[in-house]
Amino acid sequence: MSAEVEVRSTGSRRALDATSVVLCVLVDAAVAFAVFESPFGTIFILDDDPPDGHVLAPLLAGMVIGALQRIAVGTSTTVVAAIVAALGGVATLFFVFPAGVVAIGCVLGAVAATGVRRRTRRRSVLAAIVLVVIGTIAAGYGLTRPEPADMPLLDVTAVPGAPSLVVDPQRRAHGQQLSGVLVDVDGCLGLAVNSVEGRRFVVAWERGTSVSTRPYVLDLGGRSYRLGDRVTLPGAAYITLSKDLAGYAPDLPRSCRGTDLILAG
């Protein structure tokens, strides 16, 4: 009879441990997903410029939930859940970095909370409830966070009574030198290029270019130009109306959208 009771007790404990592992894995994954969708989210090796805090944020989040998990379900369950969550992140590629760092944080948090004894069942239940709440909030944030607005391809500075200045915010390496006369092209500052049959192009000037008024002066590369002056661009690329301009047109003033574009950034 006592052997049967012992078997039942052991089976119940194993079932409870499995349930705890699943709960902790879900919380770990939800928190990692929320970090991934936050301003600290990154794919790391596939990102050219990971955001500041991309390591610290998931690590601290993991340490907090790891400490809570240790109080609620014990160290071994916390560690097993962290390993399972990390392996799940590896299987997704894009999710591997936040999942891995959160898992490391969970282990560190569990170690840091080793001195906290689970003296009462009430404390364990409270920690488990907090875990569920954190997981739910994290998952809700990750699933409902709106997508950031697309960054404009061009920046436009309107100048009252004078041509608008269009700037290409990206740094580009164009090898084609181009020279032309500074002109007003349908309300945008551009160039009349004799080498291209005297055509007039709106120019998306390099980042850092500015204009001042009274008189209207273009400040480009530390030099000043007025309308009618000749300007030489060390590198330029043509964006033709028929092929590529559609992607840039929404950022341009409406009056300038019918003209081909030169990227001088």
Burial (CB < 10 A; 0-12, 13-18, 19+), residue 227, is middle
Q: Is the peptide bond before 215 cis (omega within 30 degrees of 0)?
A: yes
pLDDT of residue 10: 41
**Contact residues for 40 (Cβ-Cβ < 8 A; gap 6+):** 51, 53, 54, 56, 57, 58
% of the chain at pLDDT higher than 70 = 80
Mean pLDDT of the chain: 80
CB neighbours of residue 154 within 10 Å: 21
Q: Is the dihedral of CA 84, 88, 93, 98 positive or negative?
A: negative
The residue-averaged pLDDT of 230-246 equals 74
Q: Using CA atoms, how far apart are residues 28 and 70, in angstroms rounded to an integer?
A: 13
Per DSSP, what are the bridge partners of residue 263?
204, 237
What per-residue confidence (pLDDT) applies to 9? 41
51: CB partners within 8 A, 6+ apart: 39, 40, 41, 42
In the three-class reduction of DSSP (H, G, I as helix; E, B as strand; rest coil), residue 226 is classed as coil
The mean per-residue pLDDT over the stretch 208-221 comes to 88
Q: Using alpha carbons, list the distances in angstroms from residue 247 to 99, 150, 250, 251, 264.
A: 36, 12, 7, 9, 17
Q: What is the tens place of the pLDDT at every residue in 109-166?
A: 988 888 776 566 667 777 777 888 887 787 777 667 666 555 567 888 888 888 999 8
What is the rounded CA–CA span in Å between residue 64 and residue 99?
Answer: 15
For residue 4, what pLDDT is reported?
45
DSSP E strands in the chain: the ranges are 155-157, 165-167, 176-185, 188-193, 199-205, 210-212, 217-220, 223-225, 230-239, 261-263
The rounded distance, in Å, linking the Cα atoms of 69 and 63 is 10
Q: Count Cβ neighbours within 10 Å for each residue of 179-193 and write b for 16 or more, e otherwise.
A: ebbbbebbbbbbbbb
CB 60 within 8 A of CB 167: no
Place of tokens 């705890």: 20
Asked if residues 24 and 87 have their Cβ atoms less than 8 Å apart, the reply is no
The pLDDT tens digits for 19-73 are 888 888 989 998 888 888 888 888 877 666 777 888 888 899 999 999 888 888 8
